[in-house]
Amino acid sequence: MSAPNVLFVVHGMGTNLEAAEEPTAWFKEVETALHVAWERFPSLAEESFAEYIELCPLSYDQRFRQYTARVAAAGEKLEGKLGKARYARALAAVGGAGADDEENFLWANVMDVLLYRLGSDFNVEVQVALQLQLAKKVREVWAANTGAPVQFSMLSHSLGTAVAHGMLQRLALGAIGDSDVFKLGGNFKLRCYMTLANVSRLMFRPGGSIYDKTLIRPGRYVESFINARHIADPVPAPFKFAPLAWGPGYREIPIQCFRQPNLHAFTHYLDHPAVAGALFRSLVPFLIQQAEVDAVVATYPDVNNPDEQKCRSIERLIADIAHELQVAYNDETHLLSDSVELLAGVARRAWQNRKALGALT
Amino acid sequence: MKRRAGWSLVLCAIACLIGHGYAQAQAQCTPADFGKEIIARIAGDNCPKPNEPELEAIIGRIDAAIDNAKLEEVERSATLIGALRELRDAYGRRPSWGAGLERGIDAAILRARAGELPLNGFANVRAPNVPPDPLACSLVLGTVGELDYACIVLQGSPVPSGAGARVHVLEPYEAALALRALSAAHSAISKLNIPELDKAIERLTQAQKRFDNLRQHGYLQYPWELALDTALTPRARYDACQTTDSFCSGEAGLDPASLRVIFLHPGVGIAAAGLGFKGKPSWDTAIALSLEAIGFVSYTDSFETYWGLSGGAIVSDGDFGDTRFGLFVHATRWLHAGYLFSVLREATRGDASVFLSLDLGTAFGASFLE
């Protein structure tokens, strides 16, 4: 018998492909983090994770890498033909030489976001890729003689929150070809949708409020919606996702812990028991009570460095960064979601904060 | 703890399998254990399985209909709906929980009769959740506030207030039986959706293939060209979606845009000079750098090939003093040609070059060039 829950996992920005085959490196890390988190709760530790939850990675990274590899090839072709003249080198760089180099931070990270947001129909392309992967998994589950209903949920991170939101919205809204199978009101919906460092509002394309327009909210295409945000993570800070009137099906989890300098990392979010606990509570509520989650959270210090002075420094820095983000992004009237400057500013802050936190440890 | 739980499960299973019957099963499995097991394992593999030949026979017919590849879609649907009706008649009579099952199956059959796929009826058979379902049900059928809603609670657990007549308090054996029947119905209804799901998969596969063709064989667009496309096309491309919501939904906008912009597009090829109304024709060629200022490319349905036009300039052999201006043509996906005039240099003004860039690597794959 298969597990009663299928949890789709959607990655964020950056190079998430291993050179070879599936499963991808990013997914292995997330899988490990979820298993570690599961073991942290005594009631869950008695049970087998795989018996209750099947993880299904949804990956769109190859769509970006396919493109950057081709841009790189074009740039290198220019370089090869034109030699080392200064103009030739400049043109080759503009043309994308080195675009597939994982060390090239701009191409490997920021470009994913820019391509998704401003790259013509790249958003459609990645959404189609995810929809297809999701549809194939749903088919596999429905076709199997499971003998029991299987429920679908989704966990997404960073850019993946916008990608997942966009593709779910498309599924919920309209027919795919002649098929209404995924349309709202049909036989498919998500039991739980969890977002970590949600950038759906930042990437939201049309006018108006995402909170009013989206179908990906409690009571519609999802039963419950959980959103976790680190207070010092600059990525979800501008156009913060924080609906006020979504009722009890929506839950927000702010965290302020420090376990690694990259506060934005997928696994850093999952390490916090409040985050993982909320997910497990939603998927297997009969196995774990809220009181147990609260008890484990109470034993999880925000900073666990043995040097008390360092602890205090880190806590202070995190508080300072959080304050700075609040000052910079709380007033949304002067922010433009289309602004490349805004996206570059967020990337710069993330990089600087990571260095500053790294220096303290 | 694990080992103890494992032993109790084994005892449960043995007790029931050797036919100690319902009373014995009740003695072995407390309601709490039973409930946890039912909910956790959903079909309850390890605790007493309802041993009801009638139910097993119906489930057998459902499975056979699903597995019989020879059945046409219509016949399969009819067989499944027939089996669902049997399930309803057989188990709808049960006073303790039949009403919930009956409503769900009726809703599904009504939809099927109306020519719709029997959606929804059991879409929400599930273990209970924290909000939005506020009731402490062991199992939930349908959606709170709707006709097909039923809340099943195990005997011994507190009965939630507020659900009125929709609460069914069941003994463990009945709960297991209800779950088995509900699961069979849910499974059948899910499977009725597979042909629809296949249509969606087919359409998405086609869309992905088009994107693959565009990215692998199409005329490469640099990031700034994509950005210009974004600036130029959103209204035309996304207006269709505005009628329902601000996102493109479903079919609308599922494929790549077939008309795409060329803008400040650098390239490299060979140029032969002396082919204008002045100058000496020559087959001597030189490496030339091209820059297409503005233009467009139009794709076929499959995105395997395209044609396009653009205006721009070339520089041969790094001679920027004799930059030549003209038109480029893109015919099929591998032939890119241009005809460009010399205008900047007095001595060659009126002469023209033919520019050629044969993108053989794109056309035949990288191995062709190697």
Is the domain of B298 the same as that of B361? Answer: yes
pLDDT tens digits, B99-108: 667 776 776 6
Judged by DSSP in three states, A40 sits in coil
**A95, A124, A187: residue with CB nearest B193:** A187
Which CATH number does the domain A5-66+102-360 belong to among 3.40.50.300, 3.40.50.1820, 3.40.50.970, 3.40.1390.30? Answer: 3.40.50.1820
State the pLDDT at residue A352: 87
- Compute CA distances A75 → A78, A80, A83, A93, A144, whole Å: 5, 9, 12, 6, 48
State the pLDDT at residue A285: 75
**B120, B126, B193: residue with CB nearest A142:** B193
Is the domain of B159 the same as that of B81? Answer: yes
Distance of CA B69 to the CA centre of its chain: 24
Task: Calculate mean pLDDT across residues B275-279.
Answer: 73
Strand order in the sheet with A5-10: A53-58, A5-10, A151-157, A190-196, A222-230, A250-255
Domain that holds residue B318: 221-369
The partner residues of B291 in beta bridges, in order of sequence, read B266, B313
Of all residues in chain A, the one with the smallest CA distance to B130 is A282
Is the domain of B63 the same as that of B105? Answer: yes
Instruction: Output the average pLDDT for chain A.
Output: 84
pLDDT tens digits, A227-236: 999 999 999 9
Indicate the pairing of strand B285-299 with strand B259-272.
antiparallel
**Cβ pairs A/B, distance under 8 A:** 257
Of all residues in chain B, the one with the smallest CA distance to A166 is B247
**Is the distance from CB of A250 to CB of B132 less than 8 angstroms?**
no
- The angle that helices A61-82 and A86-94 make with each other, rounded to 10 degrees, is 170
Lowest mean pLDDT among A106-115, B111-120, B213-222: B111-120
pLDDT greater than 80 at residue B268: yes
Compute the nearest-CA separation of B64 from chain A (Å). Answer: 11
Q: DSSP for B6-60?
A: HHHHHHHHHHHHTT-HHHHHHHHS-HHHHHHHHHHHSS-SSSPPP--HHHHHHHH
State the pLDDT at residue B367: 45
pLDDT tens digits, B193-202: 788 899 999 9
CB contact under 8 A, B41 and A1: yes
pLDDT tens digits, A209-259: 788 888 899 888 998 899 999 999 999 999 899 998 888 889 999 999 999
Angle at A161 between CA A268 and CA B131, to 5 degrees: 90
Compute the nearest-CA separation of A50 from chain B (Å). Answer: 12
The residue among B154, B177, B192 that closes a domain is: B192
pLDDT level of residue A94 (50, 70, 90 thresholds)? low
pLDDT tens digits, A144-153: 765 566 789 9
Range of A347-361, B17-31, B327-341 with top mean pLDDT = B327-341
State the pLDDT at residue A349: 86
Half-sphere exposure of residue A93: CA atoms within 13 angstroms, side-chain side: 8
Interface of A with B in 50-79 (CB under 8 A): 52, 63, 66-67, 70-71, 74, 77-78
Give the residue from A56, A26, A53, A51 showing the smallest Cα distance to A139: A56
pLDDT greater than 70 at residue A192: yes
Mutate to test the interface with B, among A58, A150, A181, A289 (most CBs of B within 10 A): A181
Task: Calculate mean pLDDT across residues A334-349.
Answer: 76
Q: In whole angstroms, what is the distance from residue A338 CA to residue B135 CA?
A: 43
A267 Rama class: left (phi>0) / alpha (psi -120 to 50) / beta = alpha
State the pLDDT at residue A188: 85
Residues whose CB is less than 8 angstroms from the CB of residue B107 and which lie 6 or more positions away in sequence, other chains included = B118, B120, B121, B142, B147, B148
Q: In whole angstroms, what is the distance from residue B323 CA to residue B313 CA?
A: 7
What six digits make up the tokens of B245? 């919501």
pLDDT level of residue A55 (50, 70, 90 thresholds)? very high
State the pLDDT at residue B250: 64
The residue among B172, B192, B212 that closes a domain is: B192
Alpha-helix residue ranges (DSSP H) falling in chain A: 25-39, 42-45, 49-52, 61-82, 86-94, 105, 111-118, 122-143, 159-173, 210-213, 266-271, 273-283, 290-298, 308-329, 340-360
Is the domain of B143 the same as that of B241? Answer: no
Q: In whole angstroms, what is the distance from residue B69 CA to residue B67 CA?
A: 6
Strand order in the sheet with B167-170: B139-141, B150-154, B167-170
Instruction: Output the average pLDDT for chain B.
Output: 71
pLDDT tens digits, B152-193: 776 666 777 665 667 777 776 676 677 677 777 777 777 777
pTM of the model: 0.82
Is the domain of B227 the same as that of B316? Answer: yes
Q: What is the ipTM of this complex?
A: 0.90
The partner residues of A252 in beta bridges, in order of sequence, read A227
CB contact under 8 A, A125 and B205: no
pLDDT level of residue B337 (50, 70, 90 thresholds)? very high
Tell me which of B180 and B1 has the higher pLDDT.
B180
pLDDT tens digits, B299-332: 999 999 999 999 999 998 888 888 999 999 998 8
State the pLDDT at residue A290: 86
pLDDT tens digits, B20-71: 333 333 334 443 444 444 444 444 445 555 567 888 888 888 778 767 767 7
Place of tokens 């299928």: A6
Which chain B residues are Cβ-neighbours of A294 within 8 angstroms? none
Residues whose CB is less than 8 angstroms from the CB of residue A263 and which lie 6 or more positions away in sequence, other chains included = A230, A232, A233, A318, A353, A354, A357
**Is the distance from CB of A124 to CB of B248 less than 8 angstroms?**
yes
Please count the structural domains in chain B.
2
* Residue B203 maps to a domain: no
Task: Calculate mean pLDDT across residues A107-112.
Answer: 68
Residues whose CB is less than 8 angstroms from the CB of residue A315 and which lie 6 or more positions away in sequence, other chains included = A258, A302, A303
* Residue B255 maps to a domain: yes
State the pLDDT at residue B163: 55
pLDDT level of residue B237 (50, 70, 90 thresholds)? low
* Residue B206 maps to a domain: no
- Compute CA distances A38 → A44, A251, A296, A299, B86, whole Å: 6, 20, 11, 15, 42
The partner residues of A228 in beta bridges, in order of sequence, read A196, A253
State the pLDDT at residue B119: 38
State the pLDDT at residue B316: 87
Lowest mean pLDDT among B113-122, B128-137, B169-178: B113-122
Compute the nearest-CA separation of B245 from chain A (Å). Answer: 7
Is the domain of B23 the same as that of B156? Answer: yes
pLDDT level of residue A264 (50, 70, 90 thresholds)? very high
Give the residue from B172, B160, B111 showing the smallest Cα distance to B180: B172
Interface of A with B in 278-337 (CB under 8 A): 281-282, 284-287
Q: In whole angstroms, what is the distance from residue A144 CA to residue A140 CA?
A: 6
The partner residues of A226 in beta bridges, in order of sequence, read A194, A251
pLDDT greater than 70 at residue A6: yes
Place of tokens 């400057």: A341
Is the domain of B168 the same as that of B270? Answer: no
Tell me which of A327 and B242 has the higher pLDDT.
A327
State the pLDDT at residue B117: 44
pLDDT greater than 60 at residue B14: no
What six digits make up the tokens of A235? 């990525």
